[in-house]
Amino acid sequence: MNKKAISLISGGLDSALSTKLILDQGIEVVGLHFTSPFSSRRERQEGLQAVRTANELGIRLILKEKGPEYIDVVRNPKHGYGKNMNPCIDCRIFMLKKTGEIMAEEGAGFVVTGEVLGQRPMSQRRQTIELIERESGLESLIIRPLSAKHFEPTKPEVEGIVDRNKLSDIAGRGRSIQYDLVAHYNLKEFGCPGGGCLLTDAAFSGRLRDFFAYEDDFTMLDVELLNTGRHFRLRSDTKIIIGRNKQENERLRSLWRVPYTLLYPVGFQGPLGVLKGDAGTEIIAMAANIIAYYGKNRSPVITIESNDGSLSRHEVVRSDEDPERYKV
């Protein structure tokens, strides 16, 4: 077995400590951080934190996008969802399978994770950890340095590559031991505990259920737009997304492309929108009323920018219909 490891770097405390415990045994470590289309702003910041963590530890970091394959995992998880649309077990299996591929590419012999037995209720119970390891195809090749002594020795421990006596026996949700280790190693580059996955958010999960129900032929742009703005399902094949603030308006404008249509108010302050689907007169009227409802004008003039760059303006009399009925 090669004396080289791939360590999953989340940007958090536990993965930083786990990596340090392995580095201190003179083992070469390459960091791996997965990015997700379902990342919250905080989780995206954790991606940047992973880079800083890797720099502090002095290791190379590979950034890997979960990509379109992961959408299928979220849509049809073999092991089901958590409280919302979070397929934590299937997500972990997916990442470890991808890690196994990178292991082969890098010539690494085993994997290091920051998992702590009993810390997370869904994915870090003993039975679940064993299931995930088995289905990932990495049995006896995953070392969890913070909880290693609660598990059977792994292959790198048996072969003498990793000294088991220098690993820990932490379990449960408390973190006092981890913070003692942070002080001991004088580590500074790690994020605060807690998840940032939008799939655990109830509101976002409702939006995602709507997306899976109506969007069969979708792109990664459609997925990217799920975490921006307010979403309204006008018809089964038609949806408009509008910005909640200047930042989101700018983001929608920057992401806008075929097959979306761009809509924005003229002569008054209000949200910008991108429309996917039917852009006929009735739909434009509905979209204009939604923009006016969240803007500062009762008689909206909406500019429609088509995909060929042409512009048209539509003055629409506002309806008394409540736009919230279409919100997802």
- Tell me what pLDDT residue 45 has: 57
Same domain, yes or no, for 24 and 156? yes
Provide the pLDDT confidence category of residue 34 given band limits of 50, 70 and 90: very high
Examine the fold and report which residue of 132, 161, 185 is the final residue of a domain before the chain moves on: 185
205, part of any domain = no
How far apart CA 210 and CA 196 sit, in angstroms, is: 21
What residues contact residue 119 under an 8 Å CB cut-off, 6+ apart? Answer: 14, 172, 173
How many domains is the chain partitioned into structurally? 2
- Tell me what pLDDT residue 115 has: 94
What's the token pair of residue 297?
Answer: 């004008």
Write out the H or E segment, with its range, that includes residue 242: strand 238-242
Pairing outcome for strands 238-242 and 230-235: antiparallel
Q: What share of the chain is helix, strand, coil (3-state, %, to 5)?
A: 40, 20, 40
Q: Report the chain's mean pLDDT, rounded to a whole number.
A: 89
- Tell me what pLDDT residue 43 has: 56
Give me the count of residues in the chain. 328
Higher pLDDT, 22 or 281: 22
Average pLDDT over residues 18-25: 97
203, part of any domain = no
67, part of any domain = yes
- Tell me what pLDDT residue 39 has: 78
Same domain, yes or no, for 31 and 155? yes
Same domain, yes or no, for 10 and 80? yes
How far apart CA 308 and CA 259 sit, in angstroms, is: 11
Nearest to 286 by CA among 244, 246, 322, 245: 322
User: Is the confidence at residue 164, as pLDDT, over 70?
Assistant: yes
- Tell me what pLDDT residue 268 has: 72
Same domain, yes or no, for 237 and 304? yes
How far apart CA 130 and CA 139 sit, in angstroms, is: 8
285, part of any domain = yes
Same domain, yes or no, for 18 and 160? yes
pTM of the model: 0.87
Contact 33, 16 (CB under 8 A): no
Average pLDDT over residues 275-301: 81
221, part of any domain = no
How far apart CA 213 and CA 226 sit, in angstroms, is: 14
